[in-house]
Chain A
């Protein structure tokens, strides 16, 4: 079984879950965390829960978790009283971090205290990391005045994007693939897209931990991470 932690109305996630159906993929959404059935004792390997409205647990041969949301948000909690949504969202997010941190099967990406999808780095943090790794970068400036809070630099519309999905690197030249691999390792992520300027001497521009999921190549590459993994 593979659990995809996501917004239940996310169409890319629905496409992915359908493609992985025969691998037992199931979407785990905020509504599932409002169902009786979750029991988790930190430090213990045994747990029970609910995904897609059905019981799951440490007996379910879970082979992996794919995180597709950085956090639970109020708009995923329409079944909760409005005045309680902000609190419940924070509690559910913290619960998912705690529970997933103790899973021994592959979790892509491993959540951090800042985001369920991995390191919640700003564009500036990615650029500084890239520069330290020897990747050519485009200097960027962010200012409070003028174009408020927005970074300078190229639009990503025409950028060359290289996807890291488990052990596979998709797209780009050999050099861009090397850079993407280094960036993925530095950030300890298994799923990310790294964008470079479409120039003769490409420069790193930005990264995202939520590349397009509705892509057969990406889906198959990700599946390799979970296929054959030890269940937890």
Chain B
């Protein structure tokens, strides 16, 4: 069996999954993005999808990969590529590696956590909210507008509103206050998303296959990811079974194997869902809650890779060609948290 990881090794979720795979004794290959200029990929498609991935010191037939965990960054942002300047051979090479590996992720029958096309709904929050609503969750009333007066009317109707990005670009959820009055005319430049403010307690639910890990977040800030002076407490929490089931259905409906679901329980006990993150930075929660999320992801990958091998009638050792050792290739030093 063969498991492939793709990303920057010191990025915490990727490092955590690599460590969990190592502890389980699983063989895996790390496609280290920092080595992108020494990475070669060939992908051939027709009746079959085959390919070869050449990394420093090893070669991997892509058709032998049974599971993949991917958290790639745009390779053009990597220091080695940036330092080479724009429109250079280095940049073209980095872009080609990204494109071909993304293509393979879309086309392979292996389990990919998560496939890019299944992750894409997170690039448009109201589009994703429509799916969330269809699965029975409450979603906040929303207005997208370029009209100042409409935003003010919405504010008056709802009593309190927040604004945040429409797209997948990360933005700080902020409550609209009188201090925004002067800037509100700027909405004419670009459609802007406003939502009713729903008071309550935040929960993050991580779904890994059929496992559910619930966390409760105690923080008074509008957006606990940017708490400012407000203290943040994260602890493991039991989520009502019907809400767990709804989270599982939602994540399955989106075709995801792993996801972070952002929920809020209102004072009246209603559960509202804001977003499903297909590339959750779960280590931020795992470190406080001590939930074995990385281990669960590793188990899911191992199980998928075993199934892949048995379906093809080859033994694991025969199927795994070149494996990189964890100690040699991973830098597990703590790094900043990179929220996806």
Instruction: Kindly state the interface size class of chain A when it binds its partner.
Output: 35 or more
* Interface contact B145-A39, CB-CB below 8 Å: yes
Known A41-B142, A148-B93; judge A142-B46 contact (CB<8 A): no
* Interface contact A40-B190, CB-CB below 8 Å: no
* Complex-state Cα separation, A141 to B133, whole angstroms: 42
Chain A residues with Cβ below 8 Å from B41 are 143-144
Partner of B43, one of A88, A113, A138, A142: A142
* Interface contact B103-A40, CB-CB below 8 Å: no
Indicate whether A171 reaches chain B with its CB closer than 8 angstroms.
no
Indicate whether B141 reaches chain A with its CB closer than 8 angstroms.
yes
* Interface contact A42-B130, CB-CB below 8 Å: yes
Chain A residues with Cβ below 8 Å from B126 are 42, 94, 98
Chain B residues with Cβ below 8 Å from A39 are 143-145, 147, 150
* Complex-state Cα separation, A94 to B99, whole angstroms: 22
Indicate whether A193 reaches chain B with its CB closer than 8 angstroms.
no
User: In the complex, which residues 138-181 of chain A have their Cβ closer than 8 Å to any Cβ of chain B?
Assistant: 138-145, 148-149
Indicate whether A43 reaches chain B with its CB closer than 8 angstroms.
yes
Q: Which residue of A lies closest to B106 (CB)?
A: A125
Known A87-B169, A114-B117; judge A98-B124 contact (CB<8 A): yes
* Interface contact B103-A149, CB-CB below 8 Å: no
* Interface contact B45-A34, CB-CB below 8 Å: no
Residue of B45, B96, B145, B188 most packed against chain A (CB within 10 A) = B45
User: In the complex, which residues 178-199 of chain B have their Cβ closer than 8 Å to any Cβ of chain A?
Assistant: 187-192
* Interface contact A101-B127, CB-CB below 8 Å: yes
Tell me the minimal C-beta distance from B118 to chain A in angstroms: 10
* Complex-state Cα separation, A37 to B41, whole angstroms: 49
Indicate whether B44 reaches chain A with its CB closer than 8 angstroms.
yes
* Interface contact B146-A144, CB-CB below 8 Å: no
Indicate whether B42 reaches chain A with its CB closer than 8 angstroms.
yes
Tell me the minimal C-beta distance from A113 to chain B in angstroms: 4
Chain A residues with Cβ below 8 Å from B150 are 39
Chain A residues with Cβ below 8 Å from B146 are 33-38, 50
* Interface contact A122-B106, CB-CB below 8 Å: yes
Indicate whether A127 reaches chain B with its CB closer than 8 angstroms.
yes
Chain A residues with Cβ below 8 Å from B96 are 142-144, 148-149
Residue of B41, B96, B124, B147 most packed against chain A (CB within 10 A) = B124
Indicate whether B230 reaches chain A with its CB closer than 8 angstroms.
no
Chain B residues with Cβ below 8 Å from A140 are 44-46
* Interface contact A38-B147, CB-CB below 8 Å: yes
Q: How does the 8 Å CB contact mask read for A61-88 relative to B, with 1 for contact and 0 for none?
A: 0000000000000000000100010011
| Known interface pairs A113-B127, A128-B107; 18 further A-B residue pairs with C-beta atoms within 8 A, sorted by A's residue number | A34-B188, A34-B190, A38-B147, A43-B133, A43-B142, A84-B189, A90-B167, A93-B167, A97-B124, A98-B127, A101-B127, A137-B46, A139-B47, A140-B44, A143-B40, A144-B96, A148-B89, A149-B95
**Residue ranges of B at the interface with A (Cβ–Cβ < 8 Å):** 39-47, 49, 89, 92-93, 95-97, 99-100, 103, 106-107, 117, 120-127, 129-130, 133, 141-148, 150, 165-169, 187-192
List 10 A-B pairs, minimum CB-CB distance, nearest first: A139-B46, A149-B96, A113-B120, A94-B167, A98-B126, A94-B124, A90-B167, A95-B191, A38-B146, A94-B166
